[in-house]
Amino acid sequence: MAELPLRTDIRVSVRVLYAQEHSRAGQHIFVYFIAIENRGG
């Protein structure tokens, strides 16, 4: 995560808010980011 800039965190937070509004597509996006975090450790 250290390699990622702070701007990425902002984008992720925006995607999470978008996910809350659109639960169907949002769940896939949220799980997708979780997978990235798991891989990044």
The predicted pLDDT at position 10 comes to: 74
Residues in contact with 10: Cβ distance below 8 Å, sequence separation at least 6, in sequence order? none
CA dist 41 and 32 (Å) reads: 14
The predicted pLDDT at position 3 comes to: 63
Residue 1, pLDDT > 60, answer no
Residues in contact with 37: Cβ distance below 8 Å, sequence separation at least 6, in sequence order? 1
The predicted pLDDT at position 22 comes to: 64
Could you state, in order of their start, the residue ranges of all structural domains in the chain? 9-40
In the numeric block, the tokens 């896939």 are attached to 28
**4-40: pLDDT as tens digits:** 556 777 777 777 777 666 666 666 767 777 777 777 6
